[in-house]
Copies of this chain bind each other. A is one copy, B any other.
Amino acid sequence: MKVAIQGERGAFSHEAARRMLGTDVTVLGKPSFDALFAAVADREAERGLVPIENSLAGSIHENYDRLQASPLHIVGETQLRIRHCLIARPGTTLESLRRVASHPVALAQCRRFFAERPDVEAVAAYDTAGSVLDLMKGAATYQGAIASALAAELYGGVVLREGLEDDPQNFTRFLALSLEPGPVEAATKTSIVFTLDNEPGALHNAMGAFASRGVDLAKIESRPLRGRPWEYAFYLDILGDPRGPAGAGLDALRAMAPYLRVLGSYPDGLKRASS
């Protein structure tokens, strides 16, 4: 199966793709999220894997916007523990490192490592796995890179240290996208986007479509409507079999929402603390 990701092979999206779709997936690295969405829409790849939310940084809002604008369906999700590794060329020692590169978000998640080593400079790069790739090519201005263990494996780097991240509760939620919807029989979660009339109680009534049926909501997110300042679209993740009360709630919401689109029904892939 061909899977499109944003970034170089060995990115955390690549790890998520292997976990979700098997280690024999063929991963196509794309330079941007727009290119990733286009690759799936044009059938160059059968699936696209996009990060949608990080447990520390929050939602990746641009990808919510892309979901709404694209014809793709969400067919699955997974969560990946983001475990940053310090990677170098074989023979390099931890003590000899002076410059260490990675994507700025990864560098920001490893502040403690740099604080403890004032002689090591953090260098911003375009991609986590890409910084390992450039390092292994031998033309980099740095001696170490921070990326996934998979990136070290793919490009022949050595992991000098694992778990560089400041906070171990660092998970990213990834969505699997496809041109065709997934099988409804397997679905236990449904993601939708909708608008509401601008009147008191509108959001309460919308939530009531689910609460009155005992249906649980996993997440709500708001995004601005273009050209209508201070009005919003809402993204909602609804738990439960879409053929049961969750679907009935969705029908009730559809009757009150000026705009509503189902982004996909798929198996819930998140591990939550017990409620």
Binding site for B on A (CB under 8 A): 53-58, 61, 79, 167, 169, 171, 173, 197-201, 203-205, 207-208, 210-211, 214-224, 226-232, 270-273, 275
Contact = CB atoms under 8 A, between A and B. Distances in A.
9 contacts: A167-B227, A198-B273, A200-B211, A200-B215, A204-B208, A208-B208, A229-B270, A230-B272, A231-B273
Contacts of A229: 55, 79, 169, 171, 270-273
Contact of A219 (B171, B214, B222): B222
Contacts of A54: 224
A214 B228 contact: no
A201 B214 contact: yes
A273 B222 contact: no
Contacts of A217: 200, 203
Contacts of A224: 53-58
Contacts of A198: 272-273, 275
B230 A199 contact: no
Given A58-B61, A273-B228, A273-B231, A204 B207 contact: yes
Contacts of A55: 224, 229-230
B214 A200 contact: yes
A58 B60 CA distance: 12
A171 B224 CA distance: 11
Given A219-B222, A226-B56, A230-B270, A199 B275 contact: yes
A270 to B, nearest CB: 5
A222 B227 CA distance: 23
A192 to B, nearest CB: 15
A204 to B, nearest CB: 3
Nearest to A207: B204
Given A56-B224, A221-B222, A224-B55, A216 B231 contact: no
Which of A53, A61, A198, A224 has the largest count of B CB atoms less than 10 A from its CB?
Answer: A224
Which of A214, A230, A270 has the largest count of B CB atoms less than 10 A from its CB?
Answer: A230
Contacts of A219: 222, 230, 232
A230 B218 contact: yes
B222 A220 contact: yes
